[in-house]
């Protein structure tokens, strides 16, 4: 047994089969405790050289020395084994003497593991061969089989030849259709033929190795089931390779109808083409074609809708008797969101209207009510029908309710509850409210019961690297720069940061930061470092700066109560904590501020006097700002704010210093988007200051196609203070973002500002026009964002923006404009479409500069048709 363990420790895997063959079952069971202890030893340093050397041999020994099938399967598929696995041939060798039923049990247990367990397919296939059991059809086994078939090849070999040799081909192919996320593999390689999956499977079906009816049915059923885009493309490619006959296509009419209506566009297009061939050959009834149209004409993909209208036109031309059924079906497109689709449908109806009977004409007249006003009038003339007189509807703007800030709950009362919240915050990151509440709880319990708090936190932080590190290894600067700020306080509580280092951080601050975010970051981290230092040297009873509301705002009466509590306890406030409290305290409500100022002055303390003066000095001072235009961007600069210079700690004074586009831009390391909500909570009544410092970051989502920076926009809109140039430009860049989630965040921010009565539509609209002209914002992206906002019911708001965005773009169109105007004009049609929709729905009237010229242009391009539509809506005297 010593020889066995020596070989395992040395990693001599190839020697183990010989050593194990000479051992009885009892001897193997006797040595297993030593194997298990070695595993525990290696787990402590699983990435070290000893572990990498010994783990493959350990896996073999553990599998051979256990007798239970479940235990062996768990051992082979264990998480710590998957990185340094033994060769499958060796494992099969040491297990080959077991009973077939036992081997079958093991392989089926292994196959049930998720693919992430990385159980080698070669091992599972070898055990299936030894046990002669039924082949597993789990996701892990099927994926492994597909990878194996794609990677094992010899000169002159093909996928087709390898599949022919597989004894379990029918079972595994049947399972393939039930397995998710295999579409990407099915599409490899891109070329068709015997070396591709689709080509090989189609050939095997043609040869009879796979039953054709079963394969075709499974393929169509797989497309009906849905899944990822890759799966749809992969199985559609296979379906095309199977080359269905006309009888097979006709027999699956119901499936094609379902796919045309609900499947992803690439699959729906194929189903539409199959049904179209059947319809034009007279093998699809008019009723079924009308049913198909009901599903397709309400899809958002314009190509599918246009193709369906073309198909309906061809069908009516082929057989005039179908007009009564098919023209009302085509008229369903009158309600499509795209006016070009509506016009196409109307042209189709006009072309074949004489073939329709009286009842069909009545249906068409009713459907015409859904058309946009200009097309509606035209439709009633064409149909020779009297327009339905409707009661005039007064438009009412629908905006979401303005979000209300949430009051922070008190800090956790027990150390156990606090430890749970610390754990949750470390995992999720949390929001400002969770962070502030947890930080205040740590301060309170460190003052009241430090030992109990440390004991409760032990298991929560045990997996953090600094929890087991020497004090000399833990540098406080690491936490200021790269780690979430709560880590510094936790490491301080557990004695992992030297007091001298904490004191140096408080005294020296965080010098050397020169980017535009430095002022925000220095102020935020100054409070954390001072709190950590006081936790070690002179614990605070509680924090003064914990906000009252989720936005970071602190009620003045609450701050006065906290200062009174400090006075009664004889506690010395933290300078940084008190400075943060001053920046957070509400001063916009002058009545509440004046009342609190009197109470603060009566405290008779230096902090009370300072708070009274601060509250009595008026509302927050607003900076003097101006714009800069570096390249395609528009950025904002601010002058100095004097009230943020006097009587504030050194690390807080940069908050009020000038913001420069050209000076404050280098050596930035603030890449973590999650810190931005905390910056907003620094200055909850001065969001313009924060917006100016993150404006360049926000511009990158539109100019450089980055992702994620716009996530802060809804919080920016919910924050307090003036919404000026910087805030509106942040929203403008977000509306032109490359990624949909960023545009949606900008739409949320726009609607919140509108609901709060803080949106300047003229300012934002003009900024958008300038950014589109300069190329910073692409009109197609902007149109998508504004259409989303309008769909919530904010039509008048969006029209208010676009009436200031469109004139300079239309002027450029008429005069030739700057370079690149031709490219931008391709998206101008979409902006005009959104504007027309909003004008029609909101009842907007009046003239728009340069619109008449665009509407008078010749042609039928998207730009021209939508310009005419908007011009018609704005000049219409009364609703049709």
Q: Specify the pLDDT at position 819.
A: 47
In order, the DSSP letters of 141-152 are: HHHHHHHHHHH-
How many angstroms separate the CA atoms of 48 and 43, rounded?
10
Helix/strand number for the chain, H first, E second: 46, 2
Residue 878 pLDDT > 50: no
Structure tokens at 555: 């009620």
563-602 exposure pattern, b = at least 16 Cβ within 10 A, e = fewer: bbebeeeebebbbbbbbbbbbbbbbeeeeebeebbebbbe
Bond from prior residue into 508 cis (ω within 30 degrees of 0): no
504: exposed, middle or buried (C-beta count within 10 Å: 0-12, 13-18, 19+)? Answer: middle
401 or 878: which carries more pLDDT confidence? 401
Structure tokens at 719: 């924050």
879 pLDDT band, cuts 50/70/90, is very low
Do residues 80 and 118 make contact, with C-beta atoms less than 8 angstroms apart?
no
End-to-end CA separation in angstroms for the chain = 96
- In angstroms, the Cα distances linking 638 to 333, 630, 660, 667, 856 are 53, 16, 7, 21, 45
Residue 504 pLDDT > 90: no
463 or 793: which carries more pLDDT confidence? 793
Q: Specify the pLDDT at position 630.
A: 76
Q: Specify the pLDDT at position 490.
A: 92
Structure tokens at 458: 């032990």
Mean pLDDT computed over 402-408: 92
Task: Report CA torsion sign: 732, 733, 739, 745.
Answer: negative
436 pLDDT band, cuts 50/70/90, is very high
- In angstroms, the Cα distances linking 323 to 28, 327, 328, 428, 579 are 83, 5, 8, 60, 78
Residue 549 bridge partners (DSSP): 407
Highest mean pLDDT among 30-34, 337-341, 638-642, 744-748: 744-748
Q: Whose structure tokens read 């509106």?
A: 728
Taking Cα atoms as reference points, which of 795, 862, 788 lies closest to residue 828?
Answer: 862
Q: What are residue 585's phi and psi, to 5 degrees?
A: -65, 140
240 pLDDT band, cuts 50/70/90, is very high
Q: What are the percentages of helix, strand and coil residues in the chain, rounded to 5?
A: 65, 0, 30
480 pLDDT band, cuts 50/70/90, is very low
Residue 824 pLDDT > 60: no
Q: What are residue 152's phi and psi, to 5 degrees?
A: -95, 110
Do residues 553 and 592 make contact, with C-beta atoms less than 8 angstroms apart?
no
**How many CB atoms within 10 Å of residue 254?**
10
Do residues 517 and 552 make contact, with C-beta atoms less than 8 angstroms apart?
no
Do residues 287 and 316 make contact, with C-beta atoms less than 8 angstroms apart?
no
Q: Specify the pLDDT at position 152.
A: 67
User: What is the Cα 816 distance to its own chain's centre?
Assistant: 39
Residue 481 pLDDT > 60: no
466 pLDDT band, cuts 50/70/90, is confident
Residue 838 pLDDT > 50: yes
How many angstroms separate the CA atoms of 467 and 483, rounded?
14
Looking from the CA of 437 toward its CB, the CA atoms found within 13 Å total: 25
Residue 558 pLDDT > 70: yes
Helices (H), 644-739: 676-682, 687-703, 713-718, 725-735
632 or 57: which carries more pLDDT confidence? 57
Residue 576 pLDDT > 90: yes
Do residues 641 and 623 make contact, with C-beta atoms less than 8 angstroms apart?
yes
pLDDT above 90 as % of the chain: 64
- 654-658: list long-range contacts, CB under 8 Å, 24+ apart: 654/518, 654/519, 654/522, 654/523, 655/519, 655/520, 655/523, 655/583, 655/682, 655/683, 655/689, 657/519
Residue 462 pLDDT > 90: no
pLDDT above 70 as % of the chain: 93
Do residues 68 and 115 make contact, with C-beta atoms less than 8 angstroms apart?
no
- Which stretch of 457-466, 677-686, 833-842 has the lowest confidence by average pLDDT? 457-466
Do residues 688 and 727 make contact, with C-beta atoms less than 8 angstroms apart?
yes
Q: Which helix (H) or strand (E) holds 536?
A: helix 518-537
Mean pLDDT computed over 469-496: 68
Do residues 385 and 365 make contact, with C-beta atoms less than 8 angstroms apart?
yes
Residue 215 pLDDT > 60: yes
How many angstroms separate the CA atoms of 725 and 780, rounded?
24
- In angstroms, the Cα distances linking 556 to 606, 613, 628, 819 are 16, 12, 37, 55
Q: Specify the pLDDT at position 387.
A: 67
820 pLDDT band, cuts 50/70/90, is very low
Do residues 755 and 359 make contact, with C-beta atoms less than 8 angstroms apart?
no
Taking Cα atoms as reference points, which of 837, 832, 838 lies closest to residue 861?
Answer: 832
Q: Specify the pLDDT at position 681.
A: 94
Q: Specify the pLDDT at position 511.
A: 63
Mean pLDDT computed over 162-186: 92
Do residues 560 and 685 make contact, with C-beta atoms less than 8 angstroms apart?
no
624 pLDDT band, cuts 50/70/90, is confident
How many angstroms separate the CA atoms of 530 and 525, rounded?
9
Do residues 870 and 836 make contact, with C-beta atoms less than 8 angstroms apart?
yes
188 pLDDT band, cuts 50/70/90, is confident
The CA dihedral of 649, 651, 657, 662, to the nearest 10 degrees, is 170
Do residues 322 and 316 make contact, with C-beta atoms less than 8 angstroms apart?
yes
Looking from the CA of 870 toward its CB, the CA atoms found within 13 Å total: 33
- Which stretch of 173-187, 317-331, 369-383 has the lowest confidence by average pLDDT? 369-383
Highest mean pLDDT among 33-42, 380-389, 483-492: 33-42
Helices (H), 402-463: 415-428, 432-448, 450-461
- Which stretch of 565-569, 597-601, 661-665 has the lowest confidence by average pLDDT? 661-665
Residue 567 pLDDT > 50: yes
Taking Cα atoms as reference points, which of 678, 639, 637, 636 lies closest to residue 656?
Answer: 639
pLDDT in tens, 794-814: 999 999 999 999 999 999 888
Residue 666 pLDDT > 60: no
**Longest Cα pair distance anywhere in the chain, in angstroms?**
102
**How many CB atoms within 10 Å of residue 475?**
15
How many angstroms separate the CA atoms of 580 and 614, rounded?
13
User: What is the Cα 460 distance to its own chain's centre?
Assistant: 29
Q: Specify the pLDDT at position 479.
A: 45
How many angstroms separate the CA atoms of 233 and 219, rounded?
12
Q: Specify the pLDDT at position 880.
A: 38
- Using only the alpha carbons of the chain, give its radius of gyration: 36
Mean pLDDT computed over 724-731: 96
Structure tokens at 494: 């557990």
Structure tokens at 658: 């000038």
Mean pLDDT computed over 454-475: 75
Do residues 540 and 531 make contact, with C-beta atoms less than 8 angstroms apart?
yes
Mean pLDDT across the chain: 89
Residue 789 pLDDT > 90: yes
Mean pLDDT computed over 45-49: 74
């Amino acid at each position: 047994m010593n020889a066995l363990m020596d070989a395992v420790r040395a990693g001599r895997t190839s020697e183990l089969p010989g050593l194990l063959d000479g051992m009885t079952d009892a001897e193997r069971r006797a040595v297993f405790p030593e194997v298990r202890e070695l595993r525990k030893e290696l787990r402590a340093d699983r990435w070290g050289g000893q572990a990498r050397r010994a783990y493959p041999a350990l896996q073999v020994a553990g599998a051979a020395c256990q007798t239970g099938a479940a235990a062996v399967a768990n051992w082979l598929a264990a998480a710590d084994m998957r990185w340094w696995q033994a060769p499958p041939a060796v494992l099969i060798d040491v297990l080959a003497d077991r009973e077939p039923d036992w081997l079958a049990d093991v392989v089926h247990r292994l196959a049930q593991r998720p693919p992430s367990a990385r159980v080698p397919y070669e091992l599972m296939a070898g055990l299936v061969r030894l046990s002669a059991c039924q082949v597993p059809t789990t996701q892990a086994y099927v994926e492994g089989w597909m990878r194996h078939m794609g990677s094992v090849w010899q000169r002159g070999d093909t996928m087709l030849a390898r599949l022919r040799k597989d004894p379990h081909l029918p079972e595994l192919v049947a399972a393939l259709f039930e397995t998710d996320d295999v579409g990407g593999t099915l599409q490899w390689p891109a070329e068709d033929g015997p070396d591709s999956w689709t080509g090989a499977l189609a050939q095997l079906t043609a040869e009879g190795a796979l039953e054709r009816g079963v394969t075709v049915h499974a393929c169509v059923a797989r497309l009906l089931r849905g899944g990822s885009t890759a799966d749809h493309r992969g199985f559609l490619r296979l379906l095309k390779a199977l080359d269905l006959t006309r009888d097979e296509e006709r027999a699956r009419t119901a499936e094609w109808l379902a796919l045309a209506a609900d499947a992803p566009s690439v699959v729906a297009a194929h189903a539409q083409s199959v049904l179209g061939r059947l319809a034009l050959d007279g093998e699809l009834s008019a009723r079924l074609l009308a049913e198909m149209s009901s599903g397709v004409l309400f899809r958002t993909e314009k190509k599918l809708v246009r193709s369906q209208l073309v198909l309906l036109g061809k069908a009516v031309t082929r057989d005039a008797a179908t007009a009564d059924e098919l023209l009302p079906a085509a008229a369903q497109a009158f309600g499509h969101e795209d006016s070009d689709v509506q016009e196409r449908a109307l042209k189709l109806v006009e072309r074949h209207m004489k073939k329709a009977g009286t009842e069909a004409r009545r249906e068409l007249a009713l459907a015409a009510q859904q058309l946009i006003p200009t097309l509606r009038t035209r439709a009633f003339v064409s149909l020779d029908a009297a327009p339905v007189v409707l009661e005039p509807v007064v438009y009412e703007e629908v905006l979401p309710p303005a979000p209300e800030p949430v009051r922070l709950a008190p800090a956790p009362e027990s150390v156990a509850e606090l430890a749970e919240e610390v754990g949750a915050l470390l995992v999720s990151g949390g929001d400002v409210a969770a962070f502030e509440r947890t930080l205040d709880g740590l301060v309170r319990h460190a003052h009241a019961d430090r030992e109990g708090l440390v004991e409760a936190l032990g298991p929560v932080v045990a997996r953090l690297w600094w929890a087991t590190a020497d004090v000399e290894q833990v540098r406080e600067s690491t936490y200021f720069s790269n780690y979430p700020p709560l880590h510094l306080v936790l490491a301080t509580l557990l004695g992992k940061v030297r007091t001298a280092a904490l004191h140096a951080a408080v005294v020296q601050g965080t010098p050397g930061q020169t980017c535009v975010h430095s002022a925000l970051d220095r102020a935020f981290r100054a409070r954390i470092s001072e709190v950590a230092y006081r936790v070690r040297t002179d614990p605070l009873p509680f924090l003064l700066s914990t906000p009252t509301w989720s936005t970071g705002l602190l009620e003045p009466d609450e701050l006065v109560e906290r200062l009174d509590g400090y006075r009664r306890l004889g506690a010395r406030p933290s300078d940084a904590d008190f400075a943060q409290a001053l920046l957070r305290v509400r001063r916009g409500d002058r009545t509440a501020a004046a009342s609190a100022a009197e109470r603060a002055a009566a405290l008779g303390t230096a902090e009370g006097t300072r708070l009274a003066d601060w509250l009595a000095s008026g509302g927050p001072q607003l900076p003097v700002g101006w714009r800069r235009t570096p390249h395609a961007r528009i950025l904002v600069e601010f002058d100095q704010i004097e009230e943020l210079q006097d009587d504030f700690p050194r690390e807080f004074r940069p908050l009020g210093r000038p913001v420069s586009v050209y000076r404050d831009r280098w050596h930035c390391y603030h890449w973590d988007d999650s810190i931005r909500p905390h910056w907003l909570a620094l200055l909850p009544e001065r969001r313009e200051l924060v917006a100016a410092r993150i404006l360049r970051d926000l511009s990158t989502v539109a100019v450089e196609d980055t992702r994620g920076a716009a996530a802060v926009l809804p919080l920016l809109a919910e924050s307090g203070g003036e919404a000026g140039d910087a805030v509106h430009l942040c929203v403008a860049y977000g509306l032109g973002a490359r990624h949909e989630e960023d545009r949606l965040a900008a739409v949320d921010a726009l609607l919140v500002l509108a609901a709060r009565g803080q949106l300047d539509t003229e300012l934002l609209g003009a900024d958008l026009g300038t950014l589109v002209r300069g190329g910073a914002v692409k009109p197609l992206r902007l149109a998508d964002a504004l259409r989303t906002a309008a769909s919530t019911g904010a039509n008048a708001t969006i029209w208010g923006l676009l009436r200031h965005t469109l004139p300079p773009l239309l002027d450029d169109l008429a005069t030739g404009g700057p370079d690149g105007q031709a490219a931008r004009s391709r998206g101008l049609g979409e902006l005009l479409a959104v504007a027309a929709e909003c004008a029609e729905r909101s009842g907007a009237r009046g003239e728009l500069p340069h619109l008449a010229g665009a509407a008078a242009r010749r042609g039928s391009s998207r730009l021209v048709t939508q310009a005419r539509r908007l011009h018609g809506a704005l000049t219409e005297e009364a609703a049709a």
